[in-house]
Amino acid sequence: MRILFIGDVVGRSGRAVLLERLGALVQDWKLDFVAINGENAAGGFGITEAIYQEFVDAGVDVITGGNHSWDQKEALVFIERAPQLLRPINYPAGTPGRGAALIDAKNGARVLVVNAMGRIFMDPLDDPFAAVERELAACPLKQTADAIIIDIHGEATSEKQAMGHFCDGRASLVVGTHTHVPTADHQILPRGTAFISDVGMTGDYDSVIGMDKDEPLMRFLRKIPGARFEPAMGEATLCALAVETDDANGLARRIAAVRLGGRLQEARPQFWDNEQADRF
């Protein structure tokens, strides 16, 4: 199975590059499943129902969230009628929506997606490890699910790496989100789970983690807020993780970083690009 996980989509520029490129990526790379983190999609803060539907119509199979999941208050209502939208699973019982879902891939396979949020330097939610453990026990890889994706939305690299090792051999991939800067540690862990500490954001990198530079700079310099944060509006880079799993066991066979457009140096999965070139 070919999976593409696209990092935190920030504001209009992030949405634009995603919508511009996704159709061709699905076709050229023969993608079976596309996941994105969409908690910053609406002006950098939260997601609206219209944006959710726009992503689904473009070919996104699941949208994960994080600490900004509820910044657009309408999300508290429409998440109940949005089966492909997740929020962190370790919110308290009674929180609207769901933190895990078993979703049909484009090739007919069943993919379990779990969205968890870390607790270090974040809101003190319930234990993400216990929540993920319950899902892995209830829906084991290659028994109930053909592939399993864990989005661990967290500030601390150590916590995200710990989640990767905690799930190693039991999930297809564990993807860190939230810090908006792509890390260089993408790898297949010893028992076969693909991992990256942070996939990075899909947004304008001439910014401070996706926000127009002026207000964050002034807050660092003066320690006084002057205006609200606004997303940077320049050309965005699409940051993602490409993973190919083994149909026999659901674990990762190949992994590559993806960076397309914008300011960052381009990176592509050569193993899929070469296959595309060989057809011509």
Cite the active site residues. 68
- Alpha-carbon distance of 278 to 280, in angstroms, equals 6
φ, ψ of residue 141 in degrees (nearest 5) = -65, 130
Structural Rg of the chain based on CA atoms = 18
Residue type, 193: T
- DSSP state, residue 172: S
d(CA 99, CA 90): 7
At position 204, the amino acid (one-letter code) is D
SS3 of 104-133: the string is: ECCCCCEEEEEEEECCCCCCCCCCHHHHHH
DSSP H or E stretch at residue 196: strand 194-196
Assigned token pair, 33 = 């499943």
β-bridge partners, 195: 174, 187
DSSP state letters, 13-33: HHHHHHHHHHHHHHHHTT-SE
